[in-house]
Structure 1
Amino acid sequence: MRAAARSFATGPLRPRWLKLPMACGLVILGFWLLATFAAPLMAPYDPLDLAGRRLQPPSAAHWLGTDALGRDVWSRTLHGAVHSLPLALAVVATAVAIGAGLGALAGYMGGVFSGVIMRLADVTLSFPPMLLAMAVAASLGPGLGNAAIAMVIVWWPVYARLMRAQVLEVREREHVEAARAAGAGRVRVLTRHILPLCWTPVLISATMDLGQVILLAASLSFIGLGATPPTPEWGAMISDGASQFYSWWVALGPGLAILSIVLGFNFIGDGLHDYFDPRSE
């Protein structure tokens, strides 16, 4: 039995990097992507509909019970993915575009421009991420859009430093020197000969950061700086459940949703690391 399991794990029918954690991460992500696009079909009730008695415990009619207003917790948890997952993708994509772009220019150009960008990144990174996000979100006002802006400000320096380090290493390689000697312009050297070799660490970091962005967005909503009522957002739902001490099911659904999707993205990030790392077994 164990030999057969090992054969399946490493055999020709299964890629070497597609291990159990990676497979679990893909299944988790697939479920929440399905919920993002098909929540109205998967949810038994409208997330804003007062479908049952208030604070009703889990039952056959309401799998995760109802909240203080009688809304179905399971339906609201599914609809929470509609807000949380696209928000995380938008934040990470924007942070990567800004941070990696500035980091690539800083690493290739050097000089004063590199110094200014890196000092700005150092100042931003000197603040605890949660504290900085809270300060920016509080100054902009509650709302998922303002929370997204706050999280982009928190995350872009991470990709700027990572991309700059990669560019500094790649630009000294022989094929880059050969391209310069052949008369290639600076833009062509950067875009064709340097950047294609720098994206792997950024991709792995961005995959793992997706879960952290969802967690930070939920934290901002929990303290009232993210989603506004009655939006079915996971952090706001946990905040509602925190005030209902004996109604534990109100916060159970969104809490498990956050836990699962954070673990899923971490598993996928580890799998990508194994795939791109030639030293992985």
Structure 2
Amino acid sequence: MTLVSPSRASRLALHWPHWLSLPMMLGLLIVGFWAIMTVAAPLVAPYDPLDLVGRRLQAPSWEHWLGTDALGRDVLSRTLHGAVHSLPLAVMVVALSVLIGATLGALSGYLGGWVGAVIMRLVDVTLSFPPMLLAMAVAASLGPGLGNAAIAMVIVWWPVYARLMRAQVLEVREREHVEAAVASGATRPRVLIRHILPLCWTPVLVSATMDLGQVILLAASLSFIGLGATPPTPEWGSMISDGASQFYSWWVALGPGLAILTIVLGFNFIGDGLHDYFDPRSE
């Protein structure tokens, strides 16, 4: 066995990216695993998530690693298939929220005047409601279903990015290179798109990465109270709701609970790593 000399070990540590820490790598592994499950769950899961494959409320065994639920469906298979619904939903919600919020926030910060005032008053009104309460109200008015839950979550989340992007634009537009672009005769859209926005995306990217986990939690919460996924969809929140009614059959909620816990931690680890990567003070 060849030992690495102290000098070589120190050189490796010196050239190792400071942001690629153990939590960051762990987060990438966790999120990568669940991302693979969104595609490979039908191939990896031992049973169909909707089939009745065993006795109802059967405890974990070699045949059913996480047991069965109240209808005799395999909990492990349903947990793996839950990623097919939860992860794409979170990505779609965050992407739409960033698109809408960042666009309106950039216009508010750059144009100012009555346009900025109207946008920010709309942001203030939306943020004045507790996020969970607003999402519940919108989802209840639209009816249960993952699509309606996604709309409710976009309505809740876009103001966060609007306010964040506006703050970045207000700071960047005062820099010298922007003043030089304006003095050279560049049009206002060109100044915004070419000289301001490229310097405003770092906080938005870090926030969006962390919010992916929070969106999964909110989607699970809506499904838990019956405003998200509809039966028999194998969605993590609805599975935990089923487990809550079977208190002594702890395994029914164990699988989806661990899935939510790990993927939220994974996104938080990645967000922290991205923050360290983009933050010059962490060098």
Residues 9 and 19, structure 1, Cα contact 8 Å, conserved in 2:
no
| Equivalent residue in structure 2 for 1:72, among 62, 65, 74 | 74
Residues 194-209 of structure 1 correspond to what in structure 2 (within 5 A)? 194-209=196-211
| Cα RMSD (Å) | 1.4
Distance 2:218 2:11 in 1: 38
Structure 2 match to 1:25: 27
What is the DSSP-based 3-state SS (H/G/I as helix, E as strand, rest coil) of the residue aligned with 2:190?
A: helix
| Secondary structure of 1:229 counterpart | coil
Which of residues 86, 91, 94 in structure 2 aligns to 1:92?
Answer: 94
Letter in 1 for 2:51: D
d(CA) in 1 for partners of 2:184, 2:150: 44
| TM-score of the two chains, using structure 2 as the length reference | 0.96
Report SS of the residue matched to 1:55: coil
The offset of 1:15, in angstroms, is 1.7
Q: After superposition, where does 1:222-261 map in structure 2 within 5 Å?
A: 222-261=224-263
Aligned partner of 1:135 among 137, 162, 176? 137
Q: Distance in 1 between matches of 2:13 and 2:259?
A: 31
Q: Percent identity?
A: 83
Query: Which residue number in structure 2 is paired with residue 35 of structure 1?
Result: 37
Change (3 A) 1:9 1:234: farther
Listed as ranges, the gaps of 5+ residues in structure 2 are none
- State the match for 1:275 in structure 2: 277
Aligned to 1:213: 215
Aligned to 2:266: 264
1:10 CA displacement:
2.9
Structure 2 CA distance for aligned equivalents of residues 186 and 66 of structure 1: 61
Q: Give the whole-Å Cα distance in 1 for the aligned partners of 2:10 and 2:42.
A: 41
Structure 1 segments of 4+ aligned residues over 4 angstroms from their partners: 6-9
Instruction: Tell me the CA shift for residue 7 of structure 1.
Output: 4.9
Q: Does structure 2 conserve the Cα–Cα contact (< 8 Å) formed by 1:121 and 1:160?
A: yes
User: 1:184-237, CA deviations, whole angstroms, 9 ceiling, x for partnerless residues?
Assistant: 000100000000000000000000000000000000000000000000000000
Structure 1's unaligned 5+ residue stretches are: none
Question: Structure 1 residues 268, 8: CA separation in 2 closer, same or farther (over 3 Å shift)?
Answer: farther
Quote the Cα distance in structure 1 between the aligned partners of 2:197 and 2:83: 33
Q: Following the alignment from structure 1 to structure 2, what is the Cα–Cα distance between the partners of residues 189 and 8?
A: 43
Supply the distance in 1 between the matched residues of 2:240 and 2:281 (Cα, whole angstroms).
42
